[in-house]
Structure 1
């Protein structure tokens, strides 16, 4: 349901690395160019409405997905795997709360755990909370979205504790 997020990532890269523009022009068909233009300033709700379940292979000239292009083109790959796109290659400057659903269908649970562990390995303080919600409506992003509401109290309490001087990770 959140296929527009790929557009956010590509647009962010193009803003930071405008030299990728001609490459993307070469890879994207007319619908792909429309997709990039639209997702440049859409919010998630608009992207769900406009691009729900869009297969990015329908946006390219040769039928490869955006992920395949990212992996196969060395210049594009260097941007998306470089230091400006990795989250776990620098130490945190503040404590972090990371909440992930056990059945998240957008950001895999294991990937979120690995990120928390990587930051901890760099000396960061990370409170990791698992939302145990059972799997519901797979491939709809519901297992990703619902914890934003079901864990809101956890997040607010965590923030209040920080403002009240309670150390994170306690």
Structure 2
């Protein structure tokens, strides 16, 4: 990196972080002093519907929208509701947000968020206006930790589109790590944004962790939205094989993501719901119910370092159980990435000592894509292993290499 580029990157970082820190601190302080109201644990909005199945409506149709004030942004932000389809081709409503810089001069970046938690108040299109907030009874923490990425891209001149991951209308549960459904939701968020004046060319894609799985699935199903034409994509630590992840995180600080995955699987079909439900102990059901009401901050406090063997009647970890359940195993197979090579340049990043998404899982994805002829810029973070299953080796590489990865994507879109 030359000195001019390094200086410009530092300026962009400072210009994006200072307003974000200022707004976040102001919000936390005023709520603590009871000078402003506490955010709700629900994102119920009178202008939006609850998640609903639809019929006779085209995916990408805009349903509703209104302005919001996102922390640390100095441009305009809009939360909106639109139509998408899930992996079983059912039409349903979804939500997302658009962030525009004061002086748009760059591309559009469609961003699939990393795991925020599966309760409605964790959705990024809601938490972006909250910043950080803690709750008691039950304990929980909203933290809009994707906002530094969004604000950096805004400061660099890009318009950013995000999607909240779709929810099962019957129970309101997020379709967690349902990569095909998540991919379609972001495709349709891009389409719906056109009705709000967003010209999505040039278009780049961005996703880390859960978001990386969604972007990977987008690149493997371009035929779903042939009118959406991204030019390049950044994908970091994608959970390309969820069974690998279930084994890898069991008993770590991030055990709660197994509860998220379980809930997301159970809303896929009645067959899977019955298959898993009959295998769960009372303790397992409690873990499930407790976690789906919380964001990541709250989930870490209640499920950290617990083995999921306590959740199942046979004493198997949940990863081992899934391998023994036919319908559940078939669904996990459908979510596995690597079946089709991306048709655009991709920077794929892994961490050698990732303690959430196994390095080998991402390496295998890279080999599958590269063997099939994809243009993959393969990057590996060599940050030393930090013991304890804290998730630091998963999160720190994202932060450490962010400006380099963002610069790579913006450079590709400027060509």
Q: Hey, which of these two has a bigger chunk of strand by percent? A: 2
* CA deviation vs aligned residue, 1:77-135 (integer Å, no higher than 9, x gap): 22222x2x111112325432222222222222222111111112233222221111111
With over 3 angstroms needed to count, the CA separation of the structure-2 counterparts of 1:47 and 1:126, relative to structure 1, is farther
Matching residue of 1:73: 325
| 1:37 to 2:289 alignment | yes
In 1, the alpha carbon distance for the partners of 2:360 and 2:321 equals: 25
Q: Do the aligned partners of 2:309 and 2:315 also contact (CA within 8 Å) in 1?
A: yes
| 1:157 to 2:386 alignment | no
In 2, the alpha carbon distance for the partners of 1:19 and 1:124 equals: 36
| 1:123 to 2:365 alignment | no
Q: Do the aligned partners of 1:105 and 1:138 also contact (CA within 8 Å) in 2?
A: no
State how 1:94-105 maps to structure 2 within 5 Å: 94-105=344-355
Offset of residue 147 of structure 1: 0.6
Equivalent of 2:341, from 91, 98, 103?
91
Q: Do the aligned partners of 1:137 and 1:143 also contact (CA within 8 Å) in 2?
A: no
What is the TM-score with the length of structure 1 in the denominator?
A: 0.84
* CA deviation vs aligned residue, 1:136-156 (integer Å, no higher than 9, x gap): 224222111111111111221
Q: Do the aligned partners of 1:91 and 1:123 also contact (CA within 8 Å) in 2?
A: yes
In 2, the alpha carbon distance for the partners of 1:96 and 1:42 equals: 33
Equivalent of 1:21, from 252, 273, 298?
273
Matching residue of 1:12: 264
SS in 2 for 1:128: strand
Matching residue of 1:137: 387
With over 3 angstroms needed to count, the CA separation of the structure-2 counterparts of 1:98 and 1:41, relative to structure 1, is farther
Q: Do the aligned partners of 2:280 and 2:312 also contact (CA within 8 Å) in 1?
A: yes
Matching residue of 2:150: none
* Count of residues paired in the alignment: 163
Equivalent of 1:56, from 290, 293, 308?
308
In 2, the alpha carbon distance for the partners of 1:162 and 1:14 equals: 39
* CA deviation vs aligned residue, 1:48-104 (integer Å, no higher than 9, x gap): 2221112101111221111121111223222222x2x11111232543222222222
| 1:47 to 2:299 alignment | yes
In 1, the alpha carbon distance for the partners of 2:358 and 2:396 equals: 15
Per mean C-alpha deviation after superposition, the further-off stretch among 42-51 and 2-11 is 42-51
What is the TM-score with the length of structure 2 in the denominator?
A: 0.37
RMSD: 1.9
Comparing both chains, which one has the higher relative contact order based on Cα–Cα distances under 8 Å and sequence gaps of 6 or more?
1
SS in 1 for 2:278: helix
SS in 2 for 1:130: strand
